[in-house]
Structure 1
Amino acid sequence: MDKRPLETIELEMAILSRRLTSISTYKKYGILDHSAYLLLHQIASNGSAGVKALADEFHLDISTISRQASALEQKGYVTRIPDPLDGRAYTLQITELGADMLKKDTDIRQDKIGQLLEDWSEEEREHFGQLLQKLNEAIFRVM
């Protein structure tokens, strides 16, 4: 196997990671922080979910998801729905406010990405999106 493409990919991913961290720290894209955006997106896309299911989805500790969910609940973006079979358990459901914030944030993020890729052809954008999805799926499998 030719190592040159792997060397380029490895270096470019490291640079991308650093730049994304810098953007999220100094030039916030959107209204929501990273974890809030992803949790709200997951719940909005797949319906209400328990903390354990969300922790499994994101490969995070239950305590981490619980803390992030509590922050969303305090802001009114999600609400707890008690489990009728287990009084201790609950699922998280996105609220109308949470859905509105997610929509606004998604629009801002997509506008920023659109600006970054304005010189790319539609075919390049579509292909890049497919490759990113394929990479994310491969990463998920090894986690």
Structure 2
Amino acid sequence: MNMHALETIELEMAVLARLVKSMTSDLRNLDKSAYLLLHQLSSEGSYGVKILANKLHLDISTVSRQTASMEQKGYVCKVPDPKDGRSYFYQITDLGLKELSQYKQARLDKLEELLNGWSDEEGQNFGQLLKKFNQRLMEK
């Protein structure tokens, strides 16, 4: 890839990160970390802190802090590990599902507004390229 393309991508990624943060600043129910963690539990089921940390590419202490905060808010609860009574998994609660759903819908509404006028093909291509880029980031 040529240097001009790399420089354009680098700058646009920085702008994107800032703008996405400001785009969701009025959606105060969930922060980004809670959203991704709840999404993980909702889509894949219960996990312990260590597995969540690996899946989210975070350290265990960060996930422990986030899950403790979400447990206080009633978004997740601890369930005993049936294989090992000394450990536990986190599971999303009905309230967590409700908050996740509302937050996701608000984000989708904003994206729909921003992408108004884009063709279905442009949306598909953009989504696939973002997915490809994110998968590459997760490999590193």
TM-score by length of 2: 0.92
> What are the equivalent positions in structure 2 for 1:5-84 lying under 5 Å apart?
5-24=5-24, 27-29=25-27, 31-84=29-82
Deviations 1:45-82 (A, max 9, x none): 00101100011112211111011001111111111001
CA RMSD of aligned residues (A): 1.5
SS of the residue 2:116 aligns to: coil
Deviations 1:73-120 (A, max 9, x none): 111111100124433311011111111111111111100111111121
How far 1:30 sits from its partner (Å)? 5.8
Q: Which runs of no fewer than 5 residues in structure 2 stay unpaired?
A: none
Which 4+ runs in 1 deviate beyond 2 A? 18-24, 27-31, 84-88
Q: Which runs of no fewer than 5 residues in structure 1 stay unpaired?
A: none
Q: 2:85 aligns with which of 75, 80, 87?
A: 87
User: What is the CA–CA distance in structure 2 between the aligned matches of 1:45 and 1:85, rounded to whole Å?
Assistant: 22
